Structure 1
């Protein structure tokens, strides 16, 4: 099988993988600072419908619509985070879930503007797999900056213990606001790419099925780094093709068992498993290398030491 034939047969899967990765990243950037927010899925819906409306009605070009979606969703998410700065934990998760459900109701009752319960169709398809992969690489580059250096140390500390982090001078509120800004921007980007790749969007696109997928990717891959989200997105996107000889119910059972096993024995996901295996291999390699043998001192040095004695 040539590369071109493989690409032609898997282009839709590649696009789905990229959008799934971006959507899961909109959740991971907030979880990295210890915030459980599902608002990224809501801004995914906002980005999808807003881009679809303006492109379908030929108001602005598709590239401008994508950029506008990133900026507007990022700012709206920042405002949303500022309004909920006192809400924590599961309460924040419930509030953001309610936000997603409200957006679904608005989309389903939006009439001709949103297409109602049937959704919006006929949006010009201007995005293909290379553009989605490029957008994913840009987000990965931004995530590398977010997870390294001073910001990376601060987010690691906040995820572990927010009170202790605040006591040593870390601005928890500022880091939380930045995470909401990034979450909304990435969610808006994923939504724009989705509608411009498939030409349609419906209220179910941001429903419980997509919510479950987003959470599953983060849990299976690992929430500590973008690399874990990438592993989870690859597994979730390509698992149906790997298990093509199983029936639908069997595939769901296998995926469910995988989540249960990882949740019980690998809370850090596949990334944690690979990190543990890599550490074990490095330890074995170090033990297998013999220690260096010390060279005997030269004869002149032995003579000088004997004279001193």
Structure 2
């Protein structure tokens, strides 16, 4: 069997396993915690699309998670719309918000990009805090409904399955993006932007589109989170939210997509366990675990597991679309020359 066939079958197997795990999760743990894991998993995958596959570290993604939560809450509270419409409206708002932020940010890289996105996110946090007539200020939006044509979805167990399709659709979209010709171009831009630019790819345009797509997926996760908990607060816009999702991606493995879900599961479950036990220094424990993972498992949890499996002749993450930075999975980035007759930056796969 060829390597490509094994990779395709491995990707399908991982999708099936992930789907089954998502379906049984609220039977194994407290349903609100299960919903938190699902939302943060999508949020982490959205950030990984930008960090692991485009090479841009954003510390401002809380703006899209929290901004969408507020927009979703306002649509549900004052628009009287079913919660699916509110979630889609929140995702659209996050994408629109990302356009000007991304346009002004993607020309920068490294720490400069991270700091600019952080500055924009803090500016939005300040606006939400001051615009009390709309956002509720420090009180936030309370009592966000879960209306869906008269169905009773206030039970967290039932709402988990009502909100899960949005999370799964977002994860599937991220998985498809990184496996598409567009995703391959993003990897080539991340690995060598100068070479990609020389081959005719509009680097800033690709980065901006990746930024907007990442924001839309983050907004979807934030909208489901807001509806599931019935409130939207300033905590969702604060910089610690961005830091937490970055930690989840690094814990699971940068550039793996699947790693973000694992990191989300570890962090959310640990926080819930410590909070239930009455422990107040949650940040100390999660920070210590983060340091240990970074020092001992440089590829993250999922990245390390995949690396060990490959050394034994297996490939559990063949369908992830790539590996973490510097791994063989991303080193073979496709920066194909522009075919004759095609638009600048278009590959044969993109023109089809």
- TM-score above 0.5: yes
Which of 82, 85, 104 aligns to 1:61? It is 82
Aligned to 1:96: 117
Aligned to 2:142: 121
Which of 14, 27, 35 aligns to 1:15? It is 35
CA contact (8 A) 1:44 1:190 kept: yes
Which structure: larger Rg?
A: 1
Aligned to 2:305: 274
Q: Counterpart of 1:112 in 2: which secondary structure?
A: helix
The equivalences for 1:179-198 within 5 A come to 179-198=210-229
> For 1:78 and 1:207, how far apart are their aligned partners in 2?
20
Q: Deviation string for 1:6-36 (max 9, x for gaps)?
A: 6385101111111211222332221121112
Q: Counterpart of 2:235 in 1: which secondary structure?
A: helix
CA contact (8 A) 2:118 2:239 kept: no
CA contact (8 A) 2:59 2:239 kept: no
Q: Scaled by the length of structure 2, what TM-score is found?
A: 0.72
Q: Deviation string for 1:151-198 (max 9, x for gaps)?
A: 333222222222233233443223212211112211221221122111
Residues 50 and 241 (structure 1), Cα distance of their counterparts in 2 relative to 1, 3 Å cut: closer
The equivalences for 1:17-166 within 5 A come to 17-31=37-51, 32-126=53-147, 128-166=159-197
Unaligned runs of 5+ in 1: 284-309
> For 1:200 and 1:254, how far apart are their aligned partners in 2?
27
Report the CA distance between 1:49 and its aligned residue: 1.0
CA contact (8 A) 2:146 2:227 kept: yes
> For 1:175 and 1:5, how far apart are their aligned partners in 2?
36
Report the CA distance between 1:232 and its aligned residue: 0.9
CA contact (8 A) 1:19 1:132 kept: no
Report the CA distance between 1:137 and its aligned residue: 1.5
The equivalences for 1:245-284 within 5 A come to 248=279, 252-282=283-313
Report the CA distance between 1:278 and its aligned residue: 0.4
Aligned to 2:240: 209
Unaligned runs of 5+ in 2: 1-22, 148-152, 154-158, 315-352
> For 2:241 and 2:60, how far apart are their aligned partners in 1?
13
> For 1:112 and 1:233, how far apart are their aligned partners in 2?
33
Q: Which piece of structure 1 moves more, 114-123 or 62-71?
A: 62-71
CA contact (8 A) 2:121 2:239 kept: no
CA contact (8 A) 1:70 1:186 kept: yes
Residues 175 and 56 (structure 1), Cα distance of their counterparts in 2 relative to 1, 3 Å cut: same
Q: Deviation string for 1:57-95 (max 9, x for gaps)?
A: 235332222222222321331332123342222112111
Q: RMSD of the TM alignment (CA)?
A: 2.7
